[in-house]
Amino acid sequence: MINFSYTIWILLLPFLMFLLLGLAGHKLKAKLSGLLGTFGLGIITFLSYLTAYKYFFTSEKIDGAFQKITALNFTWLQFTDKLHIDMGVLLDPISVMMLIVVTTVSFMVHIYSLGYMKGEKGFERFYSFLSLFSFSMLGLVLATNIFQMYIFWELVGVSSFLLIGFYYQKPSAVRASKKAFIVTRFADLGFLIGILILSFNTKTFDFISLTNPSGAAISQGSSIGFLGLSVMTWSMIFVFLGGAGKSAMFPFHIWLPDAMEGPTPVSALIHAATMVVAGVYLVARMFPIYAISAPVALDVVAYVGAFTSLFAAVIACTQTDIKRVLAYSTMSQIGYMMLALGVAKYGGETGLGYMASMFHLFTHAMFKALLFLGAGAIIHSVHSNYMTDMGGLRKYLPITHITFLIACLTISGIPPFSGFFSKDEILAAAFQSNKFLFAVEYAVAGITAFYMFRIYFSIFWGKDTQYQHTPHEAPATMTIPLIILAIGAAVSGFIPFNKLVTSDGKILETGINLVIAIPSVLIGLLGIGIAYIMYRRESTIPDKLAAMFKYSYKWAYNKFYIDELYLFVTKKIIFRYIAVPVAWFDRHVVDATMNTIASVTQGVSFRIRGFQSGQLQKYAFVFITGAIMLAVLFIYLWK
């Protein structure tokens, strides 16, 4: 048995870093805190790679399958004998894979930010938040039980909130951060309810016992029905709600585009590569339960994923803010991953989707982080987010241009870049189980290629825009991460995921399925071609098209008015028709009742003052009648 207990440092280091930078950061020099943070993360990255190496290549396999290893675990909060929140480190293929993703991207972003955020007010705050995020995300990934995951899930949410709202004096950033937090919080409510239902039936939080396909927990509750579905299905649907919130699945997607108000490195790290895939990770983590006990819930996952990927892709075609385009693209890609999970089954050949999803998660992290960082470099030099303000940048930003192009090709699924491999697996998996979903995803692949190259051409080619300040290539701290990530995006397709990350831990034999691969490449090329025609040079085609499909364009441009719907629900219904009336009710009914008791008392007091008339004879009258009435009462009426 290999000793993994050092993995505790993977969690502790960033936390300590957060405390250090958070409490004492303002006393340090800004640059020093940045370097400290980066250095800390470097160590963590190293530890993670070490762990990955040890886990995949030296750890013992049983029955040809990777084992889930609880590196360490201690009870954090005891609820009952069986239910207790533990804090620990669980190593299995997906967590180790995620470890790599998170630390790599995070490390890149740390380095990148040294340049990007230079001179910003609150530099050390930024790094402390980044540390907090790294801590939370790693904790989430390594969680040994669902409640630990929930805890870090919340922490991730709050670090996302803090980072989106980093420019806290900018009203739009404040709004966006609030929105992100509340929407995800609402989804987390589902997660929590799911946990409650799940734990009530299974009496455990522990992942290993929960997801053991032959264990006792997994079959609990699937026989108890509630409103037509089994309790297990309900709990899994609720859990998925949480995942959907974090991963910006429809209808919880609205926060993600707004979240682009945060600094671009943050978008790259949190809102592209790591946190937003937490939902996918969650479903993957619980996958045996989904697959074995709650297939209906899994179908929900698949359809939501598919719908979101299409929906987001369509919107992406119309947006002009490059970060927003990338955000919708992220949603769309995550939809892919969800779909892949949704169409998978547990174990063997049918588990292809699972592997594909994880594979895509990995590659997506690389190329999407690259895209965002690239976008960051562009914005850094142009000082605008809008591609209408850009054009012909290839001359000014050569490195950025090349890396961005690689990323675009990757996401469009052009071989030999990594996107091709992972997307191909997903399409294959969809094809295997559900032709309809396959068709949707196939179309989305084309749209994706189109909108990615739409921005690529608009930025780097297209019209020659006159810039007030001549754009210049970013400093080395920014370009080096770009190059590293570009390499990652280009080559990570060759990682043998089928041998490493599968639904049951065993090796899955796969190959390139030409029947699917060729058409998918073709449709990708088609998309690129259309984009080339429309955006390579200044062209009127887009406007004409937009005019032709006026209404659908308008709908898509306005993101199908989902935001407005939310605004309506929150502002109008919740605030104006629930909260305000509740507050009114409280003051004017409940409180008024209490006040009425008081005023009635006073009123009665005033009314009966006539008894005390000052007239001796009236007093005597009351005396006599009182005596008589008492006598009558006790002699005749109430003896």
Partner 1 sequence: MSSGTFLIMRHELLLIAAALLVLIAEIFGNPEKKSRISLFSIILMGIITAVGFLPSPAGELFGGMYVSSGTRLIMKNILNIGALLVFIQSVTWLNKKENSSKVSEYFILLISTLVGMNLMISAGHFLIFYIGIELATIPIAALAAFDRYKNKSAEAGIKLILSSALSSGVLLYGLSMIYGTTGSMYFNEVSGLFHNNNLQILGFIFFFAGMAFKISIVPFHLWTADVYEGAPVNITSYLSVISKGAAVFILMIILFTVFPVIVATWQKTIFVTSILTMTIGNLFAIRQQNLKRFLAFSSISQAGYIFLGLIGGNQLGMASVIYYVLVYIFSNLGAFGVVIAISNATGKENIDDYNGLYHTNPKLSLIMTLALFSLAGIPPVAGFFGKFFLFTGAAQKGFYLLVLIAVLNTIISLFYYLLVVKAMFINKSENPIAAFKSDFYTRFALGICVAGIVITGFASIIFEAIRNLSFGI
Partner 2 sequence: MDILSLFVVIPVLTITAILLLKDTRQVRVVSAFGMGLQLLMAGTLVFLYLSARHAGNSDEMLFVKDYLWFKSLNIHYSVGVDGISVAMIALTSLVVFAGIFASWEVEFLRKEFFVSLILLATGVFGFFISIDLFTMFLFYELAVIPMYLLIGIWGTGPKEYSAMKLTLMLMGGSALLLVGLLGIYFNSSPDANRLTFNILEISKVVIPLPAQRIFFPLTFVGFGVLGALFPFHTWSPDGHASAPTAVSMLHAGVLMKLGGYGAFRVAIFLMPEAAHELSWIFIILTSISVVYGAFGAIAQKDLKYINAYSSVSHCGLVLFAVLMMNQTAMNGAIIQMISHGLMTALFFALIGMLYGRTHTRIIYEMGGLMKIIPFLGVCYVIAGLASLGLPGLSGFVAEATIFVGAFQHPELFYRIVTILAVSSIVITAVYVLRVIAILLLGPTTNEHFEHLPDARWFEKISVVTLIGSVAAIGLAPFWLSSMIGTSLHPIIDKIIALNPF
Partner 3 sequence: MAANQIMFVLFSAMIVIFSILTVTSRRILRAAVYLLFVLVSTSGLYFMLNYQFLAAVQLSLYAGGIVVLIIFSILLTSHISQKFESSGLKKNIFSAIAALAGATLSIITILDYNFSATTEAAKEVTMKLIGSSLLSVNYDGYVLPFEVISILLLAAMIAAIVVAKKGAPKPTELPNINQE
Q: Which residues in this chain contact partner 2 in the complex, by CB under 8 A?
A: 75-80, 83, 85, 147, 150-152, 154-155, 158, 165, 168-171, 174-175, 178, 181-182, 185-186, 189, 192-193, 196-197, 199-200, 570, 574-575, 578-580, 582-584, 586, 590-591, 593-595, 598
- Choose the stretch contacting partner 1; rule: CB under 8 A; options: 62-70, 106-114, 288-296, 609-617: 609-617
- CB 613 to partner 1: min, Å: 8
User: Which does residue 65 touch among partner 3, partner 2, partner 1, none (CB within 5 to 8 A, set by kind)?
Assistant: none
- Residue appearing with tokens 């007030």: 468
Provide the Cα torsion 368, 372, 378, 383; round to 10°. Answer: 160
Candidate list 226, 494, 584, 619; residue touching partner 1; CB under 8 A: 619
User: Which does residue 118 touch among partner 1, partner 3, partner 2, none (CB within 5 to 8 A, set by kind)?
Assistant: none
User: Which does residue 609 touch among partner 3, partner 2, partner 1, none (CB within 5 to 8 A, set by kind)?
Assistant: partner 1
Q: Is 212 exposed, middle or buried (0-12, 13-18, 19+ CB in 10 A)?
A: middle
C-beta closer to partner 2: residue 15 or 56: 15
Contacts of 15 (CB under 8 A, 6+ apart): 131, 132, 135
What are phi and psi for residue 441, nearest 5 degrees?
A: -65, -35
- The candidate with the shortest Cα–Cα distance to 474, out of 380, 375, 370, is 380
| 3-state helix/strand/coil string of 5-35 | HHHHHHHHHHHHHHHHHHHHHHHCCHHHHHH
Residue 582 has, within 13 A of its CA and on its CB side, a CA count of: 7
Instruction: Supply the DSSP string of 147-213, one letter for each residue.
Output: HHHHHHHHHHHHHHHHHHTTSTTSHHHHHHHHHHHHHHHHHHHHHHHHHHHHHHHH---BHHHHH-T
Whether the link from the prior residue into 14 is cis, omega within 30° of 0, is no
Provide the Cα torsion 196, 197, 203, 209; round to 10°. Answer: -100
The verdict on 630 binding partner 1 (CB under 8 A) reads yes
How does DSSP classify residue 501? -
Could you tell me where the DSSP H helices lie in 383-502?
398-411, 418-433, 435-460, 476-491, 497-500
- CB 593 to partner 1: min, Å: 16
CA distance 340 to 317: 23
The verdict on 529 binding partner 1 (CB under 8 A) reads no
C-beta closer to partner 3: residue 592 or 627: 627
The verdict on 601 binding partner 1 (CB under 8 A) reads yes
- CB 18 to partner 1: min, Å: 49
- CB 631 to partner 1: min, Å: 4
User: Which does residue 541 touch among partner 2, partner 3, partner 1, none (CB within 5 to 8 A, set by kind)?
Assistant: none
- CB 594 to partner 1: min, Å: 12
C-beta closer to partner 2: residue 135 or 450: 135
User: Which does residue 54 touch among partner 3, partner 2, partner 1, none (CB within 5 to 8 A, set by kind)?
Assistant: none
The verdict on 608 binding partner 1 (CB under 8 A) reads yes
At 226, which helix (H) or strand (E)? strand 225-226
CA distance 240 to 356: 19
Beta-strand pair 69-78/229-230: unpaired
CA distance 587 to 19: 43
Return the residues of window 498-527 that contact partner 1 according to CB under 8 A.
none
What is the three-class DSSP state of 84? strand
C-beta closer to partner 1: residue 551 or 611: 611
- CB 623 to partner 1: min, Å: 5
The verdict on 633 binding partner 1 (CB under 8 A) reads yes
- CB 270 to partner 1: min, Å: 54
Q: Contact 383/322 with Cβ under 8 angstroms?
A: no
Q: Which two tokens stand for residue 276?
A: 């937003």
C-beta closer to partner 3: residue 551 or 611: 611
C-beta closer to partner 2: residue 62 or 598: 598
Q: Contact 8/132 with Cβ under 8 angstroms?
A: no
What are phi and psi for residue 386, nearest 5 degrees?
A: -95, 130
User: Which does residue 639 touch among partner 1, partner 3, partner 2, none (CB within 5 to 8 A, set by kind)?
Assistant: partner 1
User: Which does residue 76 touch among partner 1, partner 3, partner 2, none (CB within 5 to 8 A, set by kind)?
Assistant: partner 2
User: Which does residue 551 touch among partner 2, partner 1, partner 3, none (CB within 5 to 8 A, set by kind)?
Assistant: none
Q: Which two tokens stand for residue 420?
A: 């091709």
C-beta closer to partner 3: residue 494 or 623: 623
What are phi and psi for residue 91, nearest 5 degrees?
A: -110, 125
- CB 271 to partner 2: min, Å: 18
The verdict on 593 binding partner 1 (CB under 8 A) reads no
- CB 606 to partner 3: min, Å: 23
The verdict on 561 binding partner 1 (CB under 8 A) reads no
C-beta closer to partner 1: residue 12 or 632: 632
Q: What amino acid occupies position 312?
A: A
C-beta closer to partner 3: residue 545 or 631: 631
Contacts with partner 3, residue ranges (CB under 8 A):
617, 621, 624-625, 627-628, 631-632, 635
Instruction: Give the footprint of partner 1 on this chain (CB under 8 A).
Output: 598, 601-602, 604-606, 608-609, 611-612, 614, 616, 618-620, 622-627, 630-631, 633-635, 638-639
